[in-house]
Amino acid sequence: MRFLADMNMSPLTVEWLRSRGHHATHVREQDLQRASDDFILDKARSEQSILLTMDLDFGYLMAASREQMPSVILFRLVRDTSDAVNERLSAVLGLDDIDWAAGVFVTVSDATIRVRQLPLRIATPANR
Protein backbone atom coordinates (compact mmCIF):
# COMPACT_ATOMS: atom_id res chain seq x y z
CA MET A 1 0.00 0.00 0.00
CA ARG A 2 1.03 3.59 -0.61
CA PHE A 3 0.70 6.28 2.05
CA LEU A 4 1.19 10.04 2.13
CA ALA A 5 1.52 11.49 5.64
CA ASP A 6 0.32 15.04 6.23
CA MET A 7 2.42 17.53 8.23
CA ASN A 8 0.69 16.73 11.52
CA MET A 9 1.75 13.08 11.30
CA SER A 10 4.99 11.94 12.88
CA PRO A 11 7.81 10.86 10.58
CA LEU A 12 8.10 7.88 12.95
CA THR A 13 4.77 6.62 11.60
CA VAL A 14 6.19 6.81 8.08
CA GLU A 15 9.21 4.79 9.23
CA TRP A 16 6.89 2.30 10.96
CA LEU A 17 4.93 1.80 7.71
CA ARG A 18 8.12 1.37 5.69
CA SER A 19 9.37 -1.25 8.14
CA ARG A 20 6.22 -3.22 7.35
CA GLY A 21 6.80 -3.13 3.60
CA HIS A 22 4.56 -0.21 2.66
CA HIS A 23 5.52 2.67 0.41
CA ALA A 24 5.18 5.72 2.66
CA THR A 25 6.33 9.30 2.41
CA HIS A 26 5.92 12.40 4.54
CA VAL A 27 5.06 15.73 2.92
CA ARG A 28 8.11 17.21 4.68
CA GLU A 29 10.36 14.82 2.72
CA GLN A 30 9.10 16.45 -0.47
CA ASP A 31 9.39 20.04 0.84
CA LEU A 32 5.60 20.36 0.87
CA GLN A 33 5.23 21.45 4.49
CA ARG A 34 3.55 24.70 3.39
CA ALA A 35 1.38 23.13 0.69
CA SER A 36 -2.37 23.68 0.85
CA ASP A 37 -4.71 20.91 1.92
CA ASP A 38 -6.16 20.87 -1.61
CA PHE A 39 -2.67 20.34 -3.04
CA ILE A 40 -2.01 17.50 -0.58
CA LEU A 41 -5.30 15.82 -1.57
CA ASP A 42 -4.45 16.17 -5.27
CA LYS A 43 -1.00 14.71 -4.66
CA ALA A 44 -2.39 11.71 -2.77
CA ARG A 45 -5.00 11.21 -5.51
CA SER A 46 -2.48 11.37 -8.36
CA GLU A 47 -0.08 9.01 -6.57
CA GLN A 48 -2.90 6.65 -5.56
CA SER A 49 -1.80 7.03 -1.95
CA ILE A 50 -3.85 6.83 1.22
CA LEU A 51 -3.66 10.14 3.04
CA LEU A 52 -2.83 9.99 6.75
CA THR A 53 -3.84 13.06 8.74
CA MET A 54 -5.07 14.54 12.00
CA ASP A 55 -6.48 17.61 10.23
CA LEU A 56 -10.28 17.71 10.42
CA ASP A 57 -10.42 19.97 7.36
CA PHE A 58 -9.83 16.97 5.11
CA GLY A 59 -13.25 15.55 5.98
CA TYR A 60 -14.92 18.76 4.88
CA LEU A 61 -12.79 19.02 1.74
CA MET A 62 -13.59 15.45 0.72
CA ALA A 63 -17.32 16.01 1.31
CA ALA A 64 -17.36 19.33 -0.54
CA SER A 65 -15.41 17.94 -3.49
CA ARG A 66 -17.65 14.87 -3.88
CA GLU A 67 -14.47 13.05 -4.98
CA GLN A 68 -14.13 9.31 -4.60
CA MET A 69 -10.38 9.41 -4.10
CA PRO A 70 -8.02 9.53 -2.32
CA SER A 71 -8.77 7.25 0.58
CA VAL A 72 -8.13 9.10 3.85
CA ILE A 73 -7.35 7.94 7.38
CA LEU A 74 -8.19 10.66 9.90
CA PHE A 75 -6.87 10.16 13.44
CA ARG A 76 -8.80 11.69 16.36
CA LEU A 77 -6.87 10.38 19.32
CA VAL A 78 -6.56 11.73 22.85
CA ARG A 79 -2.88 10.75 22.83
CA ASP A 80 -1.45 11.48 19.40
CA THR A 81 2.03 10.09 19.95
CA SER A 82 3.53 8.02 17.16
CA ASP A 83 3.17 4.88 19.29
CA ALA A 84 -0.55 5.51 19.82
CA VAL A 85 -1.07 6.32 16.13
CA ASN A 86 0.87 3.26 15.00
CA GLU A 87 -1.13 1.01 17.32
CA ARG A 88 -4.44 2.30 15.94
CA LEU A 89 -3.12 2.26 12.36
CA SER A 90 -2.17 -1.38 12.84
CA ALA A 91 -5.77 -2.10 13.83
CA VAL A 92 -7.05 -0.31 10.71
CA LEU A 93 -4.68 -2.16 8.40
CA GLY A 94 -5.72 -5.43 10.02
CA LEU A 95 -9.31 -4.99 8.84
CA ASP A 96 -9.90 -7.27 5.87
CA ASP A 97 -13.11 -5.72 4.55
CA ILE A 98 -11.83 -2.26 3.55
CA ASP A 99 -11.67 -1.65 -0.20
CA TRP A 100 -9.03 1.07 -0.29
CA ALA A 101 -9.06 1.23 -4.10
CA ALA A 102 -12.77 2.09 -4.11
CA GLY A 103 -12.20 5.14 -1.93
CA VAL A 104 -12.94 5.24 1.79
CA PHE A 105 -12.78 7.79 4.59
CA VAL A 106 -11.68 6.15 7.83
CA THR A 107 -12.02 8.00 11.12
CA VAL A 108 -9.95 6.49 13.91
CA SER A 109 -10.53 7.33 17.57
CA ASP A 110 -9.19 5.67 20.69
CA ALA A 111 -12.22 3.37 20.86
CA THR A 112 -13.65 3.18 17.34
CA ILE A 113 -12.81 2.84 13.68
CA ARG A 114 -15.47 4.28 11.39
CA VAL A 115 -15.27 3.45 7.68
CA ARG A 116 -17.34 5.42 5.19
CA GLN A 117 -17.45 4.94 1.44
CA LEU A 118 -16.49 7.94 -0.66
CA PRO A 119 -17.84 10.29 -1.84
CA LEU A 120 -18.97 11.76 1.47
CA ARG A 121 -22.19 13.68 1.83
CA ILE A 122 -22.40 16.97 3.65
CA ALA A 123 -25.14 16.81 6.27
CA THR A 124 -27.97 19.24 5.64
CA PRO A 125 -31.20 19.65 7.62
CA ALA A 126 -33.00 17.71 4.89
CA ASN A 127 -30.79 14.60 5.02
CA ARG A 128 -29.90 14.31 8.71
- What's the pLDDT band for 121 if we cut at 50, 70, 90? confident
The pLDDT tens digits of the residues spanning 66-86 come to: 999 999 999 999 999 999 999
Question: Is this structure's pTM higher than 0.85?
Answer: yes
Is omega for the bond preceding 70 within 30 degrees of 0, making it cis? yes
- Of 3.90.380, 1.10.12, 1.10.1200, 3.40.50, the CATH number of 2-117 is 3.40.50
- Dihedral over Cα of 35, 45, 10, 20: its sign: negative
Q: Chain-centre distance of CA 119, in angstroms?
A: 14
